[in-house]
Amino acid sequence: KQEVTQIPAALSVPEGENLVLNCSFTDSAIYNLQWFRQDPGKGLTSLLLIQSSQREQTSGRLNASLDKSSGRSTLYIAASQPGDSATYLCAVRPSFYNTDKLIFGTGTRLQVFP
Amino acid sequence: SQTIHQWPATLVQPVGSPLSLECTVEGTSNPNLYWYRQAAGRGLQLLFYSVGIGQISSEVPQNLSASRPQDRQFILSSKKLLLSDSGFYLCAWSTAGTSVTYEQYFGPGTRLTVT
């Protein structure tokens, strides 16, 4: 059974710091991994999608890496800003399912203070 | 561009009352549709998914049901709500097909409180 874990559960940092959020999964048989952002009381915004054949994806100040064999992904946020405060979720798409079902971690709640 | 709508945004219902949450997608045809629930302190859990009109798959046994009466409409229902049905319900869509590259896109969610 695929399980996804995110560490840390919560993180509070001053503005300007570079951050690393961690995601680990127990079964390396995945099609892809997706990182999302969720603001309080809101839906999910897709940040980055990494295919199983890729090592990393970049979008602006965000960089996500994937090491499928070790079951790990990291989301790197450069020069953090207060507007980055949100919960960050990772999700994997297991390759043994017939649909694009996602298995989610419980998230990392990030607070960036001025 | 594609847009996904959910309503209502918030809902407070007594135990034993019925439920109907609606999700619609614009700007795409024949999407795969999903209902997720996010309970307090827990991760998102897939409840139902649909690959076409009238085609519903249930992921977990529960007090809820889903229907897809139209291509871009997905409805989550219950005949009698339980306290444990409280949570944040999210609808999502993805492009249909066999490609493994498709992302899932989420709606704004419905906050359900059962009292």
Q: What six digits make up the tokens of B34?
A: 């999903």
Q: Does A31 touch chain B (CB under 8 A)?
A: yes
Q: Does A59 touch chain B (CB under 8 A)?
A: no
Read off the pLDDT band of B60 (50, 70, 90). Answer: confident
Which residues of B are less than 8 Å from A102 in CB distance? 44, 46, 104
Q: pLDDT for A50-70, tens place per residue? A: 999 999 999 999 999 999 999
Taking residues A80-104, report their average pLDDT: 88
Asked if residues B76 and B19 have their Cβ atoms less than 8 Å apart, the reply is yes
Asked if residues B4 and B106 have their Cβ atoms less than 8 Å apart, the reply is yes
What percent of chain A stands above pLDDT 70? Answer: 96
Q: Does B104 touch chain A (CB under 8 A)?
A: yes
Q: What integer best gives the mean pLDDT of chain B?
A: 90
Residue A98 has pLDDT above 70, yes or no: no
Identify the burial level of A80 via C-beta atoms within 10 angstroms of its C-beta, where 0-12 means exposed, 13-18 middle and 19 or more buried.
buried
Whether cis (ω within 30° of 0) applies to the bond prior to B31 is no
Q: Does B56 touch chain A (CB under 8 A)?
A: no
Kindly list the distances between the CA atom of residue A12 and the CA atoms of A6, A7, A23, A25, A93, in Å, as whole numbers in the listed order.
Answer: 15, 13, 18, 24, 29
Q: What is the pLDDT of residue A35?
A: 96
Q: pLDDT for B81-104, tens place per residue? A: 999 999 999 999 988 765 556 788
Q: What is the pLDDT of residue A101?
A: 80
Q: What is the pLDDT of residue A46?
A: 92
List for chain B the helix, strand, coil content (%; round to 5).
Answer: 5, 55, 40
In terms of CA atoms, which chain B residue is nearest residue A51? Answer: B101
Q: pLDDT for B3-47, tens place per residue? A: 999 999 999 999 999 999 999 999 988 899 999 999 877 789 899
Nearest-neighbour CA in chain A from B48: distance (Å) = 10
Asked if residues B90 and B35 have their Cβ atoms less than 8 Å apart, the reply is yes
